[in-house]
Chains A and B, each alone.
Chain A
Amino acid sequence: MQLLAQVSSETDLYVAQNIFFAVIAVTMIYAAFRVVTTANVVHAALWLVVVLAGVAVQFLFLGAEFVAVTQVLVYIGAVIVLFLFGVMLTRASMGDDETVAGEKRAMAAIVGVLLFAVMAMALVDSFEDTRVDIDQPQGVTEVSDAIFSQYIVPFEAVSVLLLAALIGAIVVARKD
């Protein structure tokens, strides 16, 4: 037991974190798989909630608490509601719809698998067993200091972009 503790302190094994990470990761991958394969559009939106919540948990793992909170607020709070409204406004029936899947699914699957193979090889090759220090959280203070000093110009650009997108969405979607 002591030996095990010694090994884990020497190599930073983070056993509990890794088990939790694996559980969340498997859940996220299954949910993402359901998002892209389910025939029911509403179910796809609800599975997307699971993926987005999992992403928020990963942000917490990495110590980015403000990003995690923003993820929950913006994605799960706003984007999913937008999606559900969109589904309700564009569809009469809420059940399964077999017409949502395209004909070229096999090709798309091949593209996805090949892309993952290339990315996985490149990642494993370049970062082998690089460790990331998860004991140094980036709190709200650091993030806000960085946004309002170093990154003030991109921040203002994003504000203008959001305003433009808002006006653009209204102009595109209004009836006249």
Chain B
Amino acid sequence: MLLNQFLLLSAVLFCLGVYGVLARKNGMLVLMSVELILNAVNINLVAFGAFRTDVGGSVFALFTIAVAAAEVGIGLAIVLLMYRNRRSIDLTQADLLKG
């Protein structure tokens, strides 16, 4: 199989994730789009690992999965805290730092 078919699939997922992060204003949906991006990265890592017949690709994909789990935990805690304080998870309303 071509290496490029995996890489292009991953590029499509990555760009859809970028679109989601930019276009959504609901905190939960932005976190889901970040998951899309991280999964695209994982496909790339594993594809290059298989291409080089190096187990490092799989190992670093596992590390990425662990980091993504940590990211979701922290992200959801922040979203929940925002909901508790503002009664909304609309990210356009999170503008306290704006001058």
Contact = CB atoms under 8 A, between A and B. Distances in A.
A131 to B, nearest CB: 6
Contact of B66 (A29, A32, A115, A158): A158
Contact of B2 (A97, A112, A129): A129
B76 to A, nearest CB: 5
Interface string B17-35: 1111011111111011101
A67 B58 contact: yes
B11 A116 contact: yes
Nearest to B12: A29
Size range of the interface on B?
35 or more
Contacts of A113: 15
A171 to B, nearest CB: 8
B87 to A, nearest CB: 10
Given A75-B65, A105-B23, A132-B50, A58 B29 contact: no
Contacts of B11: 116, 119-120, 123
10 contacts: A35-B32, A51-B39, A90-B28, A90-B79, A101-B24, A111-B22, A123-B7, A124-B4, A127-B2, A158-B67
